[in-house]
Chains A and B, each alone.
Chain A
């Protein structure tokens, strides 16, 4: 054992770019960037709502700026991509059993998408 000289390979700084799987993981993690910007802007909207109807109009004007709209479109796409990843991880984290049998992954993922569609339709119908 005297001649051991183990070589440690350093972790690459851009390790997530070396492999498609890791790149998609990073995309998943990055969905929070437009989410944060959308949420902060929505906070501003709540503050405007509390302030006055003029402030509210100004906030809507600000939100209609192409850059803000682009961020919101990205937030929507990001939320849907997050949903895709989150729904497929769910059966791994919390497997659901009906009697003795584990409910198949496909069913759990499908039910979650169904719920998402239902929630969205109900919300839109309520406007």
Chain B
């Protein structure tokens, strides 16, 4: 296990103060069976080029900060290992986001979307003296899968519809809305459906399905988005019958 070899790590570099466009730079990094992409980046920063910028925090696939493209596939750097890439790796910042510097992208559009979905319990006027708001296991099972999102943004890097239409609300945010819409304690569905019903809401999706493939937490955003289409279609019919203004 301690057998060391030298691995090739290509990194897409971009310094906004010096470069007009990104370029690839090659590093040779010592690696063994336990070296993650994260470790390789740390090695480069410590020993080869201290100007390298990348995001990381927990090193254990829960903070969602270290998403990068590994050979064009969105991955968490901390749970991806060099041993699986004997031919070397090419690291690029997450696709479909603007590059700030090196592997750091501007995640503002992503965070803005999560916030727009009002991801908190709405319209429940229980007071602390009412005691805990109990849920049955069945009520929890409805949304539990969709509550596992760590906001890493890999699904946005995987989504060609987000790449083609930067206005698309996108997988994680719609999944988050769906998670709260399915929660028995929540009454905020009407507010969230306004955004889901728009052309850039659930309807911006064509079920490519790659978001669910790359999700490191198996949240299955494609399922949430397409179930949201069903919800939006129901909402459309109800609205038509009751002749309310959208």
The reply, when asked whether chain A contacts chain B directly with Cβ atoms under 8 A, is yes
Q: Write the residues of chain A forming the contact surface with B, with a CB cutoff of 8 angstroms.
A: 3-9, 11, 15-16, 18-19, 21-22, 25, 89, 92-95, 100
Asked if A4 and B16 sit within 8 Å, CB to CB, the answer is yes
Please provide the 7 A-B residue pairs with the shortest distance between their CB atoms, ordered closest to farther: A5-B16, A6-B98, A92-B223, A93-B226, A7-B99, A11-B163, A8-B98
Chain B, interface SS category: mixed
Asked if B207 and A9 sit within 8 Å, CB to CB, the answer is no
CB-defined contacts of A16 to chain B, threshold 8 Å: 160
B209 at the interface (CB under 8 A from A): yes
0 or 1 for each of B13-47: is its CB under 8 Å from A? (1 = yes): 01011000110000000000000000000000000
Given contact pairs A6-B106, A11-B160, a sample of 11 additional A-B residue pairs in the complex whose CB atoms are under 8 Å apart: A3-B16, A6-B98, A15-B163, A18-B72, A19-B72, A21-B208, A22-B160, A22-B210, A25-B208, A89-B226, A93-B229
B4 at the interface (CB under 8 A from A): no
Assess A94 versus B230: contact at CB under 8 Å? Given A5-B16, A7-B98. Answer: yes
CB-defined contacts of A89 to chain B, threshold 8 Å: 207, 209, 226
B49 at the interface (CB under 8 A from A): no
Residue of B nearest to A90 (CB): B226
Output the least CB separation between B230 and chain A (Å).
7
Q: Which of A11, A25, A95 contacts B164 (CB 8 A)?
A: A11
